[in-house]
Amino acid sequence: MAENGARRIRLGMVGGGMGAFIGYVHRVASRIDGDYDLVAGALSSRPDVAQESGRNLGLAPDRIYSSFDEMARAEAARPDGIEAVSIVTPNHLHFAPAKAFLEAGIHVICDKPITATLEDARKLAEIKPANGAKFLLPHNSTG
């Protein structure tokens, strides 16, 4: 339970495996208010790094994925699947996972920039998310 008594949000993460600074920052931030539980991840595009990263974070073996596409499909099909995914890949790799999770009906949390190009941002805006999934763009800097 979250500190306010509400159920925690089941969170997944794309990117942010071993050696990725920003993934660590986002995991810490997601724990600060106690509203999220990280339960699944496609933490690296390299399957060996994804697996080791997931084990190091204590994820269940069947919730450590080698690709974001596999994760989106599998988590959307689970009754206890993730409710939101945090995309912490390099900026130029935001579009494809955002598209996959929106189409799977899973809310997307992605820092700016939304995508690397205006064309990709427009394509993302045209997606018809399943199950009313939302694209959430946090603004967490004052610079």
3-state secondary structure 43-61: CCCCHHHHHHHHHHCCCCH
Residue 110 main-chain phi, psi, to 5 deg: -145, 125
pLDDT over threshold 60, residue 20 = yes
Q: How far apart are CA 122 and CA 16, in angstroms?
A: 26
pLDDT over threshold 70, residue 142 = no
24-33 pLDDT, tens digit per residue, is: 888 888 888 8
More confident call, 4 vs 103: 103
Share of the chain above pLDDT 70, in %: 93
Domain extents in the chain: 8-25+37-64+81-95
What would the mean pLDDT of 75-102 be, rounded to a whole number?
95
More confident call, 21 vs 16: 16
Residue 31 half-sphere exposure toward CB, CA atoms < 13 A: 8
Q: What is residue 141's predicted lDDT score, i.e. its pLDDT?
A: 58
pLDDT over threshold 90, residue 106 = yes
